[in-house]
Amino acid sequence: MSIEVEELIEEINKDGRRTIRTVTDMFAVPSHPLQKRIGEWRQITFGTPHVDALHRRAREEMAEFQDVIHHNKFATMKEAADVVVTLFALADHQGFDLLTAVERVQDQNELRRWKRHGDGTGQHIKEAVHE
């Protein structure tokens, strides 16, 4: 007999309050219409994908994006869009709304403390767990 334990996700609200949600709650959001359209198109065009195949495809699209990043804005825009389309397909296949997930992550990012790397990027500072 196996018992599944649902993962809990701690979110920090914009007012600084912490909320505990389940993964199921996070997946209960309806998909953005464009994500749903991409998922349906991919299903009709290519059949039922395997998650590993979608992951591989996303890596391939990211490599193509990396190859053109210094060439011109049009090629960069197209390849960036290809990456996002593939991520929408993956999210649709996995049953979560990518834009909602991005919004929730950004909400948390805005409340975190950051260490700058000096190159326009950084890493969030892990908060100590108080028990």
What local confidence, expressed as pLDDT, does residue 86 receive? 96
Co-location of 48 and 4 in the same domain? no
In the chain, the number of structural domains is 2
Are residues 80 and 101 located together in one domain of the fold?
A: no
CA distance 38 to 35: 5
Question: Residue 89 is which amino acid?
Answer: A
Residue 34 domain flag: yes
pTM of structure: 0.74
Residue 119 has what pLDDT?
Answer: 93
If asked whether residues 39 and 83 sit together in one domain, one would say yes
Q: Are residues 37 and 64 in the same domain?
A: yes
pLDDT of residue 60: 97
DSSP string computed for 17-84? -EEEEEHHHHHTSPPPHHHHHHHHHHHHHH-SPPHHHHHHHHHHHHHHHHHHTTT-HHHHHHHHHHHH
Q: State the 10-residue block means of pLDDT for the chain, 131 residues long.
A: 49 63 64 92 93 95 95 94 96 90 87 91 81 53
Residues 49 and 38: their CA atoms lie apart, in Å, by 13
Say if CB 108 and CB 115 are below 8 A apart: no
Which domain does 3 fall in, by range?
A: 1-29+96-120
Read off the DSSP letter of residue 118. S
pLDDT of residue 4: 47
